Amino acid sequence: MDIFTTLKQVGLWLLARRKKWIALATLLGMLVFVPAALLLSKEPPRYRTAATIYLEGKPERVPLFPDFSTQRPLTVQLAILQSRNLAEAVIETLPRASVEDLIANPYSRDYVMDIQNAWRRFRGQEPLVESPQRQALLELQAARVRFNPDRAGLVEIRAEASKPRVALDIANTYIEALLSRTRSFNVDDTKVTREFLEQQHAQVSQALGQSDGALRQFTLARGGIKPPARNAETVQRLAQVEQTLAEIQANKNMSQNRLAAMKAKLDTLPAPTPSARRAAAPAAPSQRIQILRGKLANLERQLLEYESLYTDQHPRVAGTRRQIDEVRAELGDAVKDMPQVAAASSASAVPAQDRAAFAETVAALESSVLALSAQEEALRDQGTTLRRSLSGLSRDEMEYTRLSSDNESNRRLQGILSEKMTAARMREQGEMKVVKVIDPPQVPFAAANQKRLKFLGIALALALVIGAGVPVAVEYFNRPVQTEQDIRQLTGLPVLSTVPLVRSRRSMFLLGSGQPEDVRQEDYFLFLEAFRKLRVEIQLLGREMPMRRVMIASALPGEGKSTVVVNLGLTFGEVGKQVIIADADFHRPTLHRTLKTPNNKGFSDLLAGTGELRESMSLVAEGVWLSPRGGSSTALSRTGLGSQRLTEVIESMAAEAEYVLLDSSPILLIPDNLYMAAAADGVILVVQSGVTRPRELLRTKDIIEKSGTPIVGVVLNQVPVKAVNQYYNYYRSYVRQDSKA
């Protein structure tokens, strides 16, 4: 049985028998936990305000100098917003009254420290006490400020406090600190960028002056030279390639310098661990990175070739660009595993809140350098190929082409650097902001006690766990026996037969006019075959051990023991066997009513010695006799149970018939059954599917085994018909094939 079916059965049994228990236990749990939750969640009043800001992130595609754009990635901006350093700046800037409110009216509580202090007090040690500054910092980050960002860059800053003025102070101070910190970062970054750009601009200007002079002297000395028309397109493409190569080289140099500065910043941070320093040491790129870099270079060559032949909308161009993007993404993932990047993400010198952003920046720079190197390699190869195709030009034409290309590349690069220098100067003066206030903090309003709502939810959950969970656990581990597999795993006893649950006005079907009208043919067939199978099992057991005197027992009343006795006896009579059915259930005899026989003399009279065997039996079917209980149980009959008289009576019955079937009282209720079991050759246990509990079955098994008589097997009674009707389908198919033959 799978777990879903088991849980479904447990749920149905709970609803059928334990509804009141569940309701009562849940109600008691709520009466206990809800007041406790209200008491423990008591806190100062809450006032909430909210402001909305916009963090301008870096564009996804920047054609040149992406590391010197005015924006950072949105993830880096959010890391700065949520960092401990920014929270410390807010605490330093907040008014003293607001800081005191954070300490005096806390919304959060460090339960771990409370447990530690309780243990220290128990051991006679001084408790741990945080400094006021740290208490205010922890309270601010844990319970007073929440950030709700979206993918577009909008961030809601929500602040809460016990007073409206304090909530406004927290929200405004956070915005001011973020603007100040961002402005400071922008100024520092732009200063370094501007100085580097000025240096590059000076070098490019010098190179441009030299290339202008060289081209002018060449023109004056040799005159105007124009390459042949057949090579004009190649010359133009070569000039474009060299211009692009110059831009890529400049961008690569800038990225390498920025990466070196980031690593130098990591080295200058205070107190890094020796392991972090070792991990930060330069390491050769891994084999995976080398493979991806080569693959990227090949794709860049293909893209350059396709762009020279097709338009940008051509499928080959678009497909190659998609492949390049995929390889770059793989290259970025591979770079994150490099030792220097791992050191940036785990260095103890970097605050925990800033490590992710720091490592992301290092990984982005590393992958950018590798990607630019691949583009540079592809452009160099293409330039070499184009120069080879110009081998038919004269020396003067080749020199003129080279000088013109160098001059045009330097001129274009100088213009780009001039634009970047202008943007850097504007950003350094604070004119370019990446943080914009969309909605300032609103008027604070009273907010719900979040701690109380949480505690009430926990209290309700605990009440439900106790009210429903405990009965579910008890029912699960003590669920009734349901299948043959349950019986085998629980007791190790064989299942002799499985009797389906057939509802009818009659408790036995083999006597009288055949099939009842209120039972389906399939159900009637399954019922008959179950008892025929039981009869065959007993006959086969009789070849290995004496099986003429069989006691039918059950743990508790109502499990169908008497029905099994009657129908088993009639099944033996069906094949011509002589059977005596003895009603030994002295407290609730039912067989005489089932078989409609008189109850004047019977088994109890035989035990008391006041009757003869022939006069205590009635013929109920061909070869089948019933010995009812007879008169009420007397002292003499009870005395006979515990004496040799019982054995003599059963042996006299066995002398008259081939099988003696003994009905009995419930084992767990009547101790006299041990005498009956001791006088029998074997015992068959009747177990009602879905009713008999494992502990009841095991206890019954232990009691019977004390009598010394073996339990030969189990009859699983009242099993749902749909669980056994598949055998009828096989049988019906078999009969049809036999009739056709």
Residues 40-68 have pLDDT tens digits of: 777 788 899 999 998 876 544 434 444 44
CB 584 within 8 A of CB 665: yes
Pairing between β-strand 445-446 and β-strand 47-55 as defined by DSSP bridges:
antiparallel
Low-confidence ranges of the chain (pLDDT < 70): 1-18, 57-73, 184-189, 223-232, 261-286, 336-364, 390-393, 427-434, 474-478, 504-519, 632-640, 723, 725-741
Q: Which helix (H) or strand (E) holds 450?
A: helix 450-464
- Exposed/middle/buried for residue 148 (C-beta within 10 Å: 0-12, 13-18, 19+): exposed
The predicted structure's pLDDT at residue 359: 63
- Exposed/middle/buried for residue 178 (C-beta within 10 Å: 0-12, 13-18, 19+): buried
Q: b/e for 287-319, b at 16 or more Cβ within 10 A?
A: eebeebbebbbbbbbbbbbbeeeeeeeeeebee
CB 403 within 8 A of CB 214: yes
Residue 230: partners with Cβ closer than 8 Å, 6 or more residues away:
none
Strands (E) located in 689-729:
711-719
CB 117 within 8 A of CB 130: no
Q: Tell me how crowded residue 395 is: count the other CB atoms within 10 A of its CB.
A: 7
Pick from 50, 77, 57, 94: nearest CA to 179: 77
Q: What is the pTM of this model?
A: 0.47
CB 74 within 8 A of CB 435: no
Pick from 369, 296, 364, 358: nearest CA to 332: 364
The predicted structure's pLDDT at residue 67: 43
Tokens of 681: 């050759």
The predicted structure's pLDDT at residue 735: 47
**What residues pair up with 155 in beta bridges, in sequence order?**
53, 149
Q: For the chain, how big is the Rg over CA atoms in Å? A: 47
**Cα angle: 24, vertex 27, 33; to 5 degrees:** 140
Residues 307-328 have pLDDT tens digits of: 777 888 888 888 888 888 888 7
Helix axes of 352-389 and 315-336: crossing angle, nearest 10 degrees: 140
Q: Tell me how crowded residue 14 is: count the other CB atoms within 10 A of its CB.
A: 18
Tokens of 531: 């008892």
Backbone angles phi, psi at 596, to 5 degrees: 55, 55
Q: Tell me how crowded residue 498 is: count the other CB atoms within 10 A of its CB.
A: 23
Handedness of CA 358, 363, 364, 370 (dihedral sign): positive
CB 269 within 8 A of CB 350: yes
The predicted structure's pLDDT at residue 274: 46
Domains and CATH numbers, the chain: 3-180+440-473 (no CATH), 190-431 (no CATH), 496-740 (3.40.50.300)
Give the amino acid at 267: D
Q: 571 vs 85, 130, 528, CA distance in Å?
A: 89, 86, 8
Q: b/e for 506-529, b at 16 or more Cβ within 10 A?
A: eebbbbeeebeeebeebbbbbbbb
**Residue 481 CB-half CA count within 13 A:** 28
Tokens of 284: 């050769």
The predicted structure's pLDDT at residue 625: 94
Q: Tell me how crowded residue 451 is: count the other CB atoms within 10 A of its CB.
A: 18
Q: Which helix (H) or strand (E) holds 91?
A: helix 84-93
**Residue 315 CB-half CA count within 13 A:** 0
3-class SS at 390?
Answer: coil
CB 372 within 8 A of CB 252: yes
DSSP-derived secondary structure letter, 546 = -
3-class SS at 70?
Answer: coil
Pick from 210, 138, 173, 191: nearest CA to 428: 191
The predicted structure's pLDDT at residue 333: 75
Q: Tell me how crowded residue 155 is: count the other CB atoms within 10 A of its CB.
A: 22
Q: Tell me how crowded residue 422 is: count the other CB atoms within 10 A of its CB.
A: 12
Tokens of 382: 């293409």
CB 692 within 8 A of CB 718: no
Q: How far apart are CA 3 and CA 9, in angstroms?
A: 10
SS (H, E, C) 112-126: HHHHHHHHHHHCCCC
Q: Tell me how crowded residue 674 is: count the other CB atoms within 10 A of its CB.
A: 18
